[in-house]
């Protein structure tokens, strides 16, 4: 059974804190993605990575950074958390094997910044 695992289901952080969200996949996928999901706005891509140590900005990268030191792990970093970063964060992975391939998601991390 394929698996994408996010380190936390629920997280509460204070404004200004540095926040790390971790994601691990066991499918040997090349591509990994971080999205945030807000009511009425759907899934918005923050960053993605198509290889180790490679990263590309998505649609809303401001206030975020990422790290991919190993193929199976993709971390999202909130440099200085703000209340407008309260959201559901979803990690996903997909294979290079063919374009247009489906993405597999983790269970999500609901982050609240107070």
Partner 1 sequence: QKEVEQDPGPLSVPEGAIVSLNCTYSNSAFQYFMWYRQYSRKGPELLMYTYSSGNKEDGRFTAQVDKSSKYISLFIRDSQPSDSATYLCAMSGDSNYQLIWGAGTKLIIKP
Q: Which residues in this chain contact partner 1 in the complex, by CB under 8 A? A: 4, 31, 33, 40-43, 45, 48, 50, 90, 92, 94, 96, 99-108, 110
| Rounded least distance, CB 89 to partner 1, Å | 10
What residues are paired with 66 via a beta bridge? 76
Residue 80 Cβ vs partner 1, minimum distance, rounded to whole Å: 26
> Would you say 14 or 99 has its CB closer to partner 1?
99
Tell me how far apart the 2 most distant CA atoms of the chain are, in Å.
42
E strand residue ranges, 28-78: 31-38, 42-49, 56-57, 64-70, 73-78
Q: Can you tell me the distance from the alpha carbon of 70 to that of 8, in angstroms, rounded to the nearest whole number?
A: 19
Q: Which is nearer to partner 1, 17 or 56 (CB)?
A: 56
């Amino acid at each position: 059974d394929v698996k994408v695992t996010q380190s936390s289901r629920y997280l509460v952080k204070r404004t200004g804190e540095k926040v790390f969200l971790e994601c691990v996949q066991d499918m040997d996928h090349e591509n990994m993605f971080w999205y945030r999901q807000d009511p009425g706005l759907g899934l918005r891509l923050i960053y993605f990575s198509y290889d180790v140590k490679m990263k590309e900005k998505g649609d809303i990268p401001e206030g975020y950074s990422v790290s991919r030191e190993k193929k199976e792990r993709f971390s999202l970093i909130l440099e200085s958390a703000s209340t407008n970063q309260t959201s559901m964060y979803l990690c996903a992975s997909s294979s290079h094997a063919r374009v247009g391939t489906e993405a597999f998601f983790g269970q999500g991390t609901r982050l609240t910044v107070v």
